[in-house]
């Protein structure tokens, strides 16, 4: 078998055979298929799609490229959550310790930024000393002693996805539904969690721009999980506006700690509690009150133990970008739109994301929001603050913000989108 034939099959809108899929995933993992060849295949998949049989086989081949974990020795039921990616989406940070405080074990394997969306591991690495890379033994120890762990998938867990994940980020193929579904579900099934809640983002700042595509992705992933014996539920959530008031690594960690301290923006709190309720229900834990665990400090206690167990200092001062630039409101009125995609691109251009898979990210870079849709703003008041260590990036970031908001006349009625748009199980 050869990779050119596999690429041509999908380029010409054919169906990849099980043998072709098994071979190309294995060959890519071993380095027989080059990055540029897998890039071509990924683009063909983006353009021409895959059917349910192909997606299931692709996912199975990704799982088979590595090991599978098992949490049967834990005394708690396991529940995990995965987001398809958004702007300002720091939900994993308060969610994992919150669900652990309510009685579940949360083995949260997370990733790095993809395109304009932030990565959970990039955010947490802004905490001095914190380690994303844990051995399986270390991961199980943190999980057993604290109730939650957020870490990178080990080299042995779906290694094919680890290579392809980074490649998709820099080749314009992130949005391919088959590749999103197989990437997420291969790691989650191999991880061995008993239940999984999917946060499928919908809107300009998400990879799924419309609700029909989001439902297709959600149904695909729920089907893959259910067929593999993982109780899987998906929430479709709004990503037309950034979540919270920050987009960037250290900026989002600060905001997450505010949520764990009982404060924080309402949209972040509401979504965290909604996802926690789904995770606890999927794990079979009844009568737990996530809102109470946020208010009484028990979730914060788990957060501090979890960060310390992975080498981080929960009391350390977080990095701050060396330079700031304030963007002011051009007129007085009601802010009716603040585009998540434009904000995400600005944060990425300021240094919060990557242009190449080997690029570092700036811990302090990002965008701080001073108003959200529905707020009344006055001409000249701060609307956004841009943060970066490299001020020459400001002009490039500002170009992405030229049409990022709408301001309507004072008194204009505004109805925000609900944070949860649909549920698929």
- List, by residue number, the catalytic residues: 82, 161, 168, 183, 187
Question: What's the order of all strands across the beta sheet hosting 376-377?
Answer: 376-377, 333-338, 405-408
Q: How far is CA 344 from the centre of its chain?
A: 13
The encoded tokens of residue 166 equal 């980074």
d(C-alpha 360, C-alpha 355), whole Å: 9
H-state helical runs in 349-422? 394-399
Residues 61-82, buried b or exposed e (16+ Cβ, 10 A)?
A: bbbbbbbebebeebebbbbbbb
SS3 category, 301: helix
Residues 397-420, buried b or exposed e (16+ Cβ, 10 A)?
A: bbebbeebbebeeeeeeeeeeebb
For residue 246, is it left (φ>0), alpha (ψ between -120 and 50) or beta? Answer: beta
CA 191-196-197 angle, 5° bins: 140
Residues 116/344, Cβ–Cβ less than 8 Å: yes
What Rg, from alpha-carbon coordinates, does the chain have? 21
| Count of beta carbons in the 10 Å neighbourhood of residue 83 | 27
SS3 category, 28: helix
C-alpha distances in angstroms, 332 versus 129, 369, 370?
44, 17, 14
C-alpha distances in angstroms, 321 versus 84, 201, 389, 392?
27, 28, 5, 13
């Amino acid at each position: 078998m050869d990779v050119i034939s596999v690429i041509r099959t999908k380029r010409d809108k054919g169906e990849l055979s099980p043998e072709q899929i098994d071979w190309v995933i294995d060959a890519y993992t071993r380095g027989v298929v080059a990055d540029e060849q897998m890039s071509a295949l990924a683009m063909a998949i983006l353009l021409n799609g895959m059917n349910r049989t192909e997606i299931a086989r692709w996912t199975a081949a990704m799982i088979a490229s590595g090991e599978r974990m098992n949490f049967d020795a834990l005394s708690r039921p396991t529940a995990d959550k995965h987001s398809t990616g958004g702007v300002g989406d720091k939900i994993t940070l308060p969610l994992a310790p919150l669900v652990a405080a309510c009685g579940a074990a949360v083995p949260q394997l997370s990733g790095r930024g993809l395109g304009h969306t932030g990565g959970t591991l990039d955010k947490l690495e802004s905490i001095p000393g914190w380690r994303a890379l844990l051995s399986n033994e270390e991961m199980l120890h943190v999980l057993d002693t604290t109730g939650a762990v957020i870490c990178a998938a080990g080299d042995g867990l779906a290694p094919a996805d680890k290579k392809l994940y980074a490649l998709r980020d820099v080749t314009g193929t992130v949005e391919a539904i088959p590749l999103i579904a197989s990437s997420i579900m291969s790691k989650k099934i191999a991880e061995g969690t008993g239940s999984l809640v999917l946060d499928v983002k919908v809107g300009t700042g998400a990879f799924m721009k419309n609700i029909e595509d989001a439902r297709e992705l959600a149904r695909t992933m729920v089907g893959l999980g259910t067929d593999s014996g993982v109780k899987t539920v998906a929430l479709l959530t709004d990503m037309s506006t950034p979540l919270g008031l920050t987009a960037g690594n250290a900026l989002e960690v600060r905001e997450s700690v505010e949520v764990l301290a009982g404060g924080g923006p309402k949209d972040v709190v509401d979504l965290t509690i909604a996802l926690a309720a789904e995770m606890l229900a999927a794990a079979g834990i009844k009568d737990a009150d996530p809102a109470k665990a946020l208010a009484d400090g028990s979730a914060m206690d788990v957060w501090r133990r979890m960060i310390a167990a992975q080498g981080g200092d929960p009391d350390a001062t977080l990095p701050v970008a060396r330079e700031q630039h304030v963007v002011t409101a051009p007129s007085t009125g009601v802010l009716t739109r603040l585009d998540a995609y434009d904000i995400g691109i600005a944060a990425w251009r300021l240094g919060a994301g990557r242009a190449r898979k080997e690029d570092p990210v700036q811990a302090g870079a990002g965008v701080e929001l001073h108003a959200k849709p529905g707020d009344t703003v006055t001409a000249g008041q701060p609307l956004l603050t841009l943060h970066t260590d490299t001020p020459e990036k400001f002009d490039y970031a500002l170009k992405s913000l030229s049409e990022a908001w709408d301001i309507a006349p004072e008194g204009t009625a505004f109805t925000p989108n609900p944070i949860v748009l649909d549920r698929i199980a």
